[in-house]
Every structure is written in structure tokens, then in C-alpha cells.
Amino acid sequence: MSLSEEEVRKIAHLGGLAIRDENIPRYAQSLSSILDLVNQMEAVDTVEIQPMAHPLDAIQRLRPDEVRETDQRAEFQPLAPQVENGLYLVPKVIE
């Protein structure tokens, strides 16, 4: 299986990654070889097999719906690249 450079660009876009043009051929090659590896799975018939999502087949544990978290904005804000008046700053979205 061989991914085209166009396909790699599309996957990178879906994955939210800006990739340099000069790296695209390299990614096309390594991603193709990984998909070849992965495609070995096709050798097995799995029509009757139940997919396994969790090693212990556990179900989602639920807790009582009560407030536990307190406001920690003052602790979190210093971690952000850019904040102002308690808000996280990003480039303007709506003109």
C-alpha cells in the first residue's frame, strides 16, 4: 500500500499538524510501510469476533453527580502562553 503525498497532506490536516513540504515524501514512505505492516491483519477472518475495547471488559464506572472540582483558574492561567484579565488569548476568530 502506498500513500500519495496528497493523501499525507490530507491526513496531516485532519490530525491538526502543519508539516513542512520537504518532509512529506519521508512521511509518505514511512506511513505506507506502517500501513503495510498493519494490513497483515487482513489475513485473519474476524467476521464472528466481538471487538475488544477494554482488557477486562469493564463497564464505565459512574459516580454520584455532585460538585467536586473547585475553581482553580488562578493556578491554571500562569501555564498558558497568553492570557489577559483571566481569559485565554487566541488570534481573532470573527472579524
Binding site residues, another protein, CB under 8 A = 8, 11-20, 23, 27, 30-31, 33-35, 37-44, 46, 49-56, 58, 60-61, 63, 72, 75-76, 79-82, 88, 90-93
Q: How far is the CB of 2 from another protein (least distance, A)?
A: 13
Q: Residues near 24 by Cβ (< 8 Å), separated by ≥ 6?
A: 5, 8, 9
Q: How far is the CB of 76 from another protein (least distance, A)?
A: 6
Spatial CA neighbour of 73 closest among 82, 86, 64, 62: 86
